[in-house]
Amino acid sequence: MLCVGFFLLSHMTAHSAEVTVAVASNFSEPMRKIVQSFEQESGHKVRLSYGSTGGFYAQIKNGGPFQILVAADRETPAKLEKEGLGVAGSSFTYAIGKLVLWSRQPNLVDQQGEILRRGQFQKLAIANPKLAPYGAAAIETLINLGLINEIRPKLVQGENVSQVFQFVETENAQIGFVAMSQVFAQGKLARGSAWLVPAHLYAPIQQDAILLSGGQGNAAALALMNFLKTSKAKSIMIDHGYTH
């Protein structure tokens, strides 16, 4: 029995590989859990880098060392495929994200988002709409509410939603538009107060993953792309507020 176990371990180790993955910052927490499960099951190693989708696009264009992009939109993977930097036919929608207006202060944000109309805040944090899809969704929401001109002087920008979360967490901004996954766990608000922005106020945040050209022939990259489609990975995503 020991010999068989040793043989299997040696066999798995001999065929293990490593993949470097660029991950949109809104997806950082579920991705950590997905990778933990993936590494245990596959024996492969995963190196994660978090940031804005637009920032990663620029890095990949300049030869960034990534084999997979787990983006916060559909457009960037499609653009990379068109430009020959992504493997044709490899992209797929792994999740649909949800936008939330959040404060770490209990009872500050009402469940109808009326705080935006009342203007009882000094600063509203959003992600850079030119780089981060959640920032673009925040601007679209404010436009559709007819509040963009009124609120614009109070806006502060982070490069991505992780930085927006930090602004609100440290109370450098009283409220901010973040991803539901950052403040909800298993369908419940972890702390503070929040308004789940109605889906009709912004275009669906369809988030795609793509195998990059550098990932062709990388066993770990191919295995992880497949793992993102499994029920185990999807269960983790649902726990963090994503739909499919």
Residues 221 and 175 in one domain: no
| Nearest to 207, CA basis, from 78, 59, 83, 39 | 78
Residues 171 and 234 in one domain: no
The answer to whether residue 244 sits within a structural domain is: no
In the chain, the number of structural domains is: 2
pLDDT of residue 185: 81
pLDDT tops 90 at residue 144: yes
Residues 12 and 41 in one domain: yes
The answer to whether residue 189 sits within a structural domain is: yes
Residues 6 and 91 in one domain: yes
The answer to whether residue 201 sits within a structural domain is: no
pTM: 0.86
Residues 121 and 182 in one domain: yes
Three-state DSSP class for 191?
coil
Residues 135 and 220 in one domain: no
The answer to whether residue 114 sits within a structural domain is: yes
**Which band of pLDDT confidence, cut at 50, 70 and 90, is reported for residue 78?**
very high
Residues in Cβ contact with 185 at an 8 Å cutoff, skipping those fewer than 6 apart:
239, 240
Element (H, E) at 195: strand 193-196
| 127, 161 contact by CB (below 8 A) | yes
Task: State what percent of residues in the chain have pLDDT above 70.
Answer: 94
| 70, 38 contact by CB (below 8 A) | no
Whole-number Å distance between alpha carbons of 40 and 33:
11
Residues 34 and 73 in one domain: yes
pLDDT tops 50 at residue 87: yes
Looking up residue 212, the CATH number of its domain turns out to be: 3.40.190.10
Q: Residue 80: which domain range?
A: 2-96+206-239
Pairing of strands 184-185, 188-189: antiparallel
pLDDT per position as a tens digit, 148-187? 999 999 999 999 999 999 999 999 999 999 999 999 887 8
The answer to whether residue 68 sits within a structural domain is: yes
Residues 226 and 180 in one domain: no
146-155 long-range contacts, CB within 8 A, separation 24+:
147/116, 147/117, 150/119, 151/116, 151/119, 151/124, 154/119, 154/121, 154/122, 154/123, 154/124, 155/123, 155/124, 155/125, 155/126
